[in-house]
Amino acid sequence: MPEVSIVIPTMNEGASIGAVIDEVRAALSGRDLEILIVDTDSRDGTREIAEGKGARVIREPRRGYGRAYKTGFAAARGLYVSTLDADLTYPADRIPDLLRPLEEGRADFATGDRLTRLDPAAMSEMHRIGNSILNVAFRALFRHPVRDSQSGMWAFRRDLLPSLEVVHDGMAFSEELKAEVLRRGLRLLEVPVDYRARVGERKIRSFRDAAENLAWLFRKRFGWTRRPV
C-alpha cells in the first residue's frame, strides 16, 4: 500500500502535465506514493507524457470533474489521498502542508485556500465574484466559516470515503465534498496556498458553473439530491 495517492484529472493537459508530475515528485520526495491520472479522452499526448513520467493513467470516457475524481478515488490505494489540477494552478509543494494536520491528528480533511492571498492576475474578476457569492452561500447554509469552498486541492484519509455521499459529476463536486465532510461531523481545515495562472486552455465557464454550483449548494443543504449509484 502506498502512503499517498495523488489524483489528478486531465483532459488535453499536455502542455502542463509533465511539469505537474515533476512538482509532485519533488514535493513528496522520500515518500511512497502513486500518481493517478484520470484522463477523459485527451488527444494531445497527455496520457503518453504522464505514463512516461511514471504515473498510472486511468481512462475515464465519461465527462465531468466530479466523475473523474470519483473514478480516481475508487482506484486509489494510499493511506492518504491528495489532489490538484493538471494545469499548474495549484502549488504541489504545499501538499505536505495539507498532509501534516492529518498525520498529526488535527484534521480529517485539509483543503487549500486560494483566496486569502490571491494574486488578482491568477483569476478573472468574474471568477472572483462567483467564488465570493458561493462562499457566502456556503457559510450561511452549512454554518462553517469556509474561505474557499471551491478549491480543488485537498488531502484526506482514504478510509473516510465510504462514509461520504458525494454524487455530483461536475464542478459542484468540490463544494459538495466539503459540505459532506461537515455534514458528517468531520474536522475540516483550510491551508492558505498560492494560486497561479493556468497553463493551457481554460475549461471553467465562470457564470454558468457558478450558477449551477449555487443551485447545488441549496439542493445539498436541504437533501434534494439523488443517492449515489
DSSP string computed for 151-218? ---EEEEGGGGGG------STTHHHHHHHHHHHTT--EEEEE----PPSS-----HHHHHHHHHHHHH
pLDDT of residue 165: 94
Identify the structural domains of the chain with CATH numbers, from first to last: 4-221 (3.90.550.10)
Supply the pTM of this predicted model. 0.94
Query: In 3-124, which ranges are continuous DSSP H helix?
Result: 17-27, 46-52, 65-75, 95-103
Compute CA 166 distance to the chain's CA centroid, rounded to the nearest angstrom. Answer: 13
Q: Is the pLDDT of residue 228 over 60?
A: no
> What is the DSSP pairing of strand 109-113 with strand 188-192?
parallel
C-alpha angle with apex 58: 53 to 60, nearest 5 degrees?
A: 135
**Cα dihedral value 126, 181, 28, 18, nearest 10:** -40
Mean pLDDT taken over the chain: 94
Mean pLDDT to the nearest integer, 85-100? 97
**Residue 25: CB partners within 8 Å, gap ≥ 6?**
33, 35
Q: What is the pLDDT of residues 122-176, one digit of tens each?
A: 998 888 999 999 999 999 999 999 999 999 999 999 999 999 999 999 999 999 9
- Nearest CA to 182 out of 108, 128, 102, 83 is that of 108
97 pLDDT above the threshold of 60: yes
